Amino acid sequence: MAIYLYRCAECGPFDVSRPIGTAGPSEPCASCAGEAPRVFTPPLVARTSRPLARALDAQEAGAHEPRVVERVPAAPRGPAPPADPRHALLPRP
């Protein structure tokens, strides 16, 4: 279903939901029953960023094809010890 925009001269714009390709050049207004011509608008085409598209694809694939792992992932390591040994003498919070 697509939403088509029509503009009545007396009542203003209104939307009509029709199957794609079946919208007529005019539609009767729901308020005053007058003929309202169709208003052509640009299609809603949005581009997503590459990282967002990858995340959405992974989310969609994960819903039907979950990843199989061989073992439990290792716990994340803490920060590396400082290279300067004097840092060990500093007070800790």
Q: 20-70 pLDDT, tens per residue?
A: 888 889 999 988 989 999 998 877 677 888 888 888 888 887 677 777 778
Tokens 């290792």 found at:
74
pLDDT at 39: 93
8 contacts: CB under 8 Å, gap ≥ 6: 14, 29, 31, 32, 34, 36
pLDDT at 55: 87
The three-class DSSP label of residue 74 is coil
Q: What are phi and psi of 54, to 5 degrees?
A: -65, -40
Output the pTM of the full model: 0.46
Task: Tell me the CB-side half-sphere exposure of residue 79, using CA atoms within 13 A.
Answer: 3
In the chain, where the domains are located? 2-39
